[in-house]
Structure 1
Amino acid sequence: MNAGGLTPEQVGRVVALAMDLAREGDTKQLGEFIDHGLPVNVTDPAGNTLLMLAAYHGHAETVRDLLARGADPNLRNARDQAPIAGALFKGEDEVVTVLRQAGADLDAGTPSARVAAVMFGREYLLGE
């Protein structure tokens, strides 16, 4: 992130605000942060990306926007969890579909999306 003279604490606050916007599905404001230099694949201290948080919280529109801006659908957090597995866990069907269309790896992470789908009876979301 081009910190533009910001202190590490200020950068941390900007990232925390962006993560909250992703959790809330505030696509417009989150896009403004990215338009002003926030990397689309920025992570929080737990390794979660904006895409991970938007996916986990079921915000398909935000997920679509982040993907269109270059978010990597396969980045995993510090616990080796992938966005698509999180969306499967939460039963976010539309988000799973969007991530599959974006090429999310069904075998990435622990548990993988395939394993999560079986564990939660959502194999139908994988279309296999």
Structure 2
Amino acid sequence: MQVTNAASGMGDQEAIEFIRSVFGIVRSGDDATLGAMVAKGLPVNFRNEKGDSLIMLACYHGHQETARILLDAGADPDVPNDQGQTPLAGVAYKGYVEIAELLLRHGANVEGASPDGKTPLMMAAMFNRPAIIDLLRSHGARVDAVDSRGMTAVSLAEKMGANDVLPHLQASPTAS
């Protein structure tokens, strides 16, 4: 766990426990507590021992307001975890359209690929998320991008049996 100046004046163990409590606040979506902490200067780009950032956890757990608080305070919308997954890829997997919109409004990279080359569009395709595909395509996501195995969003969707997304991948994208 990366400890920063937020815990100055505390012993190492006390600082670690404080930081763990911040992650718990984000996981639970306790917006009031988080908002008060951010207003007092809490740094918003902490990462835990798995490399998950506060914004990654807020997004992955579906807490849109928590994510907004963090992003408005300067959280990096593209910071990957230790597996190279970005918050946008996480919400593409989970199907949280509103949070994907929020991340994109805050500058998330629509093409931000993991180390194996999977883009958020590919994640949405694999997990049958047509609304996410439409959103990502309207922001310029490339249907023809290939991962490290030469797979595209279409071939991944077909492999996973995610047939609902195929028309969304083949249609012309709509403007954002």
CA distance in 1, matches of 2:30, 2:113: 27
Superposed CA deviations along residues 63-97 of structure 1, whole A, max 9, x for unmatched, are: 11111100110101111010011011111111111
* Whole-angstrom distance in 2 between the partners of 1:109 and 1:55: 17
Match of residue 168 from structure 2: none
**Which of 102, 105, 109 does residue 109 from structure 2 map onto?**
105
Equivalent position of 2:66 in the other structure: 62
Unaligned runs of 5+ in 1: none
Q: Distance in 1 between matches of 2:15 and 2:46?
A: 11
The aligned runs of 1:69-108 (5 Å cut-off) are: 69-108=73-112
8 A Cα contact 1:82 1:112, kept in partner? no
Question: Is the contact made by 1:117 and 1:125 (CA closer than 8 Å) also made in structure 2?
Answer: no
Are positions 1:116 and 2:127 aligned together?
no
CA deviation string 1:25-49 (max 9, x = no partner): 1112112233344311011111111
The structure-2 alpha-carbon separation of the partners of 1:36 and 1:9, relative to structure 1 and needing over 3 Å to count, comes to farther
Contact 1:76/1:83 (<8 A) preserved: yes
Counting matched residue pairs gives 128
Flag the structure with larger Rg. 2
- Distance in 2 of aligned mates of 1:12 and 1:109: 31
Calculate the aligned-residue CA RMSD, in Å.
Answer: 1.5
* Structure with higher RCO (Cα < 8 A, 6+ apart): 1
The answer for the alignment partner of 2:143 in structure 1 is none
Q: Which moved more, 1:78-87 or 1:109-118?
A: 109-118
Identity across the alignment (%): 38
TM-score (norm 1): 0.91
